[in-house]
Amino acid sequence: MQQEFAVKIPSTYNPGVECIPVTERLPPFGKKVLACSWMSVAYYVAFVSPAGQWYLSFGDSPILGITHWMSLPELPQGGVVV
């Protein structure tokens, strides 16, 4: 059974950006975002497929129970995406 809980990201992480419930909208397909799962109460860098399934950003492992997501912050100067 899904539990209701508040999702808060410290403002130092991504100031002015709120978590978006998946019931409100999903990110663009394939875009890497920070996703929150109620099943493990953890945050993941993940993406959603055109079929609506969430996956870890670095592989083909599906993630269950995603309730909220938010855009990733800008990379620091000289940072790279892996």
When mean pLDDT is compared over 15-19, 22-26, 73-77, the highest value belongs to: 22-26
Gap between the Cα atoms of 43 and 7, Å rounded: 10
More confident call, 76 vs 36:
36
**pLDDT of 63 higher than 80:** yes
Summarised one tens digit per residue, pLDDT across range 35-52 is: 988 876 678 899 999 998
Q: Decide: pTM greater than 0.75.
A: no
More confident call, 57 vs 1:
57
Strands (E), the chain: 20-21, 33-37, 42-48, 54-56, 62-63, 66-71
pLDDT given at position 15: 58
Q: Judge whether 23 and 11 are in contact, CB under 8 Å.
A: no
